[in-house]
Amino acid sequence: MRAMVLDAAGQALRLDPQRTMPAAGPGQVLLRVHACGVCRTDLHVVDGELVHPHLPLVPGHEIVGTVAAVGPGVAGIGIGQRLGVPWLGWSCGVCGYCRGGRENLCERARFTGYDLDGGYADYTVADARFCFPIPPQFSDVEAAPLLCAGLIGYRAWRLAGEAKRLGLYGFGAAAHIAVQVARHYGQEVYAFTRPGDAAGQAFARAQGAHWAGDAGQPAPEALDAALIFAPAGELVPAALAATARGGTVVCAGIHMSDIPAFPYRLLWEERVLRSVANLTRADGEAFMALAAAIPIRTTTTAFPLEQANEALAQLRGGRLHGAAVLCP
């Protein structure tokens, strides 16, 4: 099979035209990959900002595929069934976090496209317990960004709590889905983009943002909560300053540059600053149902598998609206 392989952090991905097909082990399914989203986390892995990826690695954790083979011990999944594979690829199931419904925090968790080979390939294997059925109204390409950008954005949105005015910092794949969830619940969305990104701001307004402007400028109204998707630590004091008393600021990315020192008065008055890590299967099930009900419309740019490096470069340069998706 073909796969795009990371041999060492900081290098471009290498096309392996004859990689050995993985086999479905106990509890696993073999999937024929039809689409795999390109997530900002992939960029952090390729650029070496996340330590200790399993090398050589096939990245990709927004996988939509159909079951080509079923391993021993898998019940209720048939050949040809369409499944999605998210970032959380395995958790231990026995630790306090796992037993308490917080498997996203399991210290032994393994992540797709990081600890486990992912979906930048013709085929991949996945633990059947961590795969989600994809609602039928989404095409493979439309569904791919739901599996991380959508899911992590949903978890961040949920943990931000009640808010009439919601700020979104960074208007990429995650925010373009989160704005639709927020609008569905009647929230007013304020989108902050890279300074001077008029096209990005127009895209945010077209997606339903009430206001869009530069991340450096103050919000026109006090926000009740803010989600930070861009990996820029200086957005944390900016978002706290824009948030009203008692409001919550959620850092939704897996990596962020250092947060500069800021005066305590930005946190005072019961503002809450928190991060969101990974996802649980319960998040996945709830979000897929919600995405189908709204329904979420994803904006995607499709690339052939071999152009994974080009897709990553466009994401790095902020040149994409919505999400890039690889189509093996």
Q: Name the site residues for Zn ion (rule: CB under 5 A).
A: 39, 41, 91-92, 95, 98, 106, 148
The minimum distance between CB 267 and Zn ion, in angstroms, equals 28
Q: In 3D, which of 317, 319, 303, 318 has the Cα closest to residue 60?
A: 303
The minimum distance between CB 196 and Zn ion, in angstroms, equals 27
Q: Which is nearer to Zn ion, 91 or 201 (CB)?
A: 91
The minimum distance between CB 299 and Zn ion, in angstroms, equals 17
Q: Which is nearer to Zn ion, 21 or 92 (CB)?
A: 92
The minimum distance between CB 88 and Zn ion, in angstroms, equals 10
Q: Which pairing describes strands 165-169 and 188-193: parallel, antiparallel, or unpaired?
A: parallel
The minimum distance between CB 284 and Zn ion, in angstroms, equals 13
Q: Which is nearer to Zn ion, 146 or 182 (CB)?
A: 146
The minimum distance between CB 46 and Zn ion, in angstroms, equals 13
| Tokens read off for 160 | 């931000």
Task: Give the distance from CA 182 to its chain's centroid.
Answer: 17
> 327 CB contacts (<8 Å, ≥6 apart)?
34, 35, 140, 141, 302, 303, 304, 305
Q: Which is nearer to Zn ion, 70 or 148 (CB)?
A: 148
- Run of H or E residues at 32: strand 28-38
Q: Which is nearer to Zn ion, 266 or 320 (CB)?
A: 320
Which residue(s) pair with 86 in the sheet? none
Please answer whether residues 317 and 162 qualify as being in contact, where contact means their C-beta atoms are separated by less than 8 angstroms: no
SS3 139: coil
Query: Residue 251 and residue 249: Cα distance in Å, rounded?
Result: 7
Q: Which is nearer to Zn ion, 107 or 269 (CB)?
A: 107
Residues in the chain, total: 328
The minimum distance between CB 95 and Zn ion, in angstroms, equals 3
Please answer whether residues 109 and 278 qualify as being in contact, where contact means their C-beta atoms are separated by less than 8 angstroms: yes
Please answer whether residues 218 and 193 qualify as being in contact, where contact means their C-beta atoms are separated by less than 8 angstroms: no
Q: Which is nearer to Zn ion, 155 or 165 (CB)?
A: 155
